[in-house]
Amino acid sequence: MVQVYFIGVPKGGAGKTTTADNLADYFVKMGKRVLGIDTDGQASWSHLKGLFPRKGRPTLYNAVKQLMENFEADLPIYTLPSGLRFIPASSALHQLESELVKVERREYVLQQLLASILERFDVVVIDTPTAINSWTNNVYVVADAGIIPIQVEPLGIASAGAMLEHLQRIRKRGVLEKDPVIAGALLTMMDPRTVLHRDMAEIAQEHLGAHIHFFQTRIERSIQIAEAQFYGKSMEAYNPKGKGAIAYAALAEEIMAGNHQVRVSTLNVPAGFADSLLQVATAVEEQVEDGGAEFTLEEVHIG
């Protein structure tokens, strides 16, 4: 049975696209029939795969627009040299949030679009936008499982908390017809040599770990990740013996094992969870860093 994974957190620079790209590559290497879907208007994953938005090239937006207007659509699925099947994004996806406002059952458009093709695959990997809105809700409706990348800094940790709050909220609202699982949280952009990153990792695991499982695999900072992306390659294709490639291979194995998954219906994060995480993480960051800026306030009366 097909497993649909979203890679998501409402923060840019957390490693969503890098994680989606490398996981999809390793699932293909495992012999899985894999579909990658770029749902982000920045189209970063599409660019990595060489599918630059250009005139006349069908994208996910074209199919969504057709479905909304004509109740039928042609879904563009490209076959890449690696064997990965792929649906690319374009910047036009940024328009969808406003266009979905007038659509009945606007959070189920992607579900309707993908319904007839999902069973052709073993694994679907979806790279999500940083926003939390009706369009990203479309992704969560389709998904069976979520992977939450956490950049080891205060905003990265708080964003993971915001993700859990949102999933809990839309589950209680009845938006999620399935009861997806959180496959795990993934620490990214980690430099274990620094005290700050080690402290941030401990805070994330202490506070978020009370609600979701953390993968044992951590993604450390590596210039090879940037180099691989520059050449449009996954880590395994660029340097299969590098630490980035080894880490993502281990992550793919952890995900396939499916241990310690947490169902969204069992989440019980408190109100204001993201804000409280930010306060805790920021306080530790201020203790670790030397010095610190002093701020002055000027209140300017208008009117």
pLDDT in tens, 84-95: 999 999 999 999
pLDDT of residue 289: 56
pLDDT of residue 283: 86
Has residue 216 been placed in a domain? yes
Distance, CA of 178 to CA of 174 (rounded, Å): 9
Asked whether the predicted pLDDT for residue 211 surpasses 90, the reply is yes
Mean pLDDT score across all residues of the chain: 93
Has residue 82 been placed in a domain? yes
pLDDT of residue 80: 96
Has residue 262 been placed in a domain? yes
Number of domains in the chain: 1
Asked whether the predicted pLDDT for residue 293 surpasses 70, the reply is no
User: Across residues 152-180, what is the average pLDDT?
Assistant: 95
pLDDT of residue 54: 80
Region of poorest pLDDT, from 76-80, 91-95, 221-225? 221-225
pLDDT of residue 60: 97
Has residue 219 been placed in a domain? yes
Nearest to 36 by CA among 86, 80, 73, 99: 86
Region of poorest pLDDT, from 9-23, 98-112, 286-300? 286-300
pTM of the model: 0.92
Distance, CA of 236 to CA of 251 (rounded, Å): 13
Confidence of residue 231 (pLDDT cuts 50, 70, 90): confident
pLDDT of residue 290: 53
pLDDT of residue 234: 86
Token pair recorded at residue 269: 């994060």
Has residue 112 been placed in a domain? yes
* Domain coverage including residue 114: 3-288
Which CATH number goes with the domain that contains 7? 3.40.50.300
DSSP reduced 3-state for 14: coil
Asked whether the predicted pLDDT for residue 25 surpasses 80, the reply is yes
Nearest to 256 by CA among 87, 38, 35, 26: 26
Q: Are 190 and 221 in contact (CB under 8 A)?
A: yes
pLDDT of residue 236: 85
- What interhelical angle do 273-288 and 154-172 show, nearest 10? 170
Asked whether the predicted pLDDT for residue 286 surpasses 80, the reply is no
Q: Are 274 and 165 in contact (CB under 8 A)?
A: yes
Asked whether the predicted pLDDT for residue 32 surpasses 80, the reply is yes
- 181-188 and 78-79 as β-strands: parallel, antiparallel, unpaired? unpaired
pLDDT of residue 262: 96
